[in-house]
Every structure is written in C-alpha cells, then in structure tokens.
Amino acid sequence: MAFGSHCYYLSHMEATVDDAMDFCKQNGSYLIEINSPLENTWIKDSYLLPVNGVTDTCPKFYSCSVWIGARYLSSSGKFVWNQTGEEMVYPEWDVNQPNNRKGQQDCVVLMRKGKANDRGCRDKFQFICEKAAKVLPFLPPEGEG
C-alpha cells in the first residue's frame, strides 16, 4: 500500500527484529520508520485496526503489534531510527513504556492502539517494510494489505 511517496508491506510472518530487517533488505526496503503523526495514524488504521477491537481479538494488551525500525542506542540513552539515526518521536510511547522489562527491551513495536512499546529484539512479531515509491511494484500481493 502507498502513503505519500512511500510503499509499505505488512509481513504475515512473525520474526525477530534481525530476521525482519533481513527480509526487508532482501526486498530493497527497510523496517518501517515513522516520521509524522499522520503516517503513524495511517499505519495503525491500515494495518493494525482500530483500538476498539483489541480485547476481542488480541489475547494480551501487547499482542497484535508490529516491529518498527527503531532501537535503543545505549550511547545516547535514546531510541533512534535505524536509517536516519534520528530520535524516535512517533509513535508516542504507551503508558508505562518504555519499561525495559527484564532489562532486555532494546527494540520497538507499534501496538494496535498506535502507541510504542519496547520489546526484546529476539521476540517475534509481524513487521512492516517501507521503501520510497519507484517504478516497480513493491512485492507480490500476499493476502490483504
């Protein structure tokens, strides 16, 4: 799907962050980086469904999340985007996040409600790849979205 000048692809496979990054890279893209509230809302509405459905379809509050391309940079003490190195501003953190649970949460998911949660990089989630729109179509369709 396209938003602005970028294309997005939701993987239906769950993977670790490293595997997700490899998958995106192999397809000429990168793990999604969110640069505005508008993009954040569009992603949530397009791929994560409205928050109203959470308790019906997601077993836990942290279910139904996707990896995004931000990671904790210990040298700066901030979460930054992989591509730009800029601090993550959107999505906003969910309440009580980032909590670095068990001291092992250096990677970030976008939750169904459109907020961020820090998670262990070796946890497995679905993920979204992003790339600048070019002439060629992004990837063959795989289910909806």
Nearest approach, Cβ of 72 to Ca ion (angstroms)?
Answer: 11
Nearest approach, Cβ of 60 to Ca ion (angstroms)?
Answer: 12
Nearest approach, Cβ of 117 to Ca ion (angstroms)?
Answer: 5
Q: Which stretch binds Ca ion (CB under 5 A): 4-12, 38-46, 84-92, 112-120?
A: 112-120
Provide the 3-class DSSP secondary structure of residue 129. Answer: strand
Q: Which of 65, 118, 125, 126 binds Ca ion (CB under 5 A)?
A: 118
Give the pair of three-digit tokens for residue 93: 């953190």
Establish if 99 lies at the interface with Ca ion (CB under 5 A): yes
Helix residue spans in 30-80 (DSSP H): 37-43, 54-57
CA distances to 20, 24, 47, 95 from 5, rounded to whole Å, are 22, 18, 18, 31
Q: Which of 29, 40, 65, 117 binds Ca ion (CB under 5 A)?
A: 117
How many positions of this chain bind Ca ion (CB under 5 A)?
4
Burial of 122 (0-12, 13-18, 19+ CB in 10 A): exposed
Residues that bind Ca ion in the complex, under the rule CB under 5 A? 99, 105, 117-118
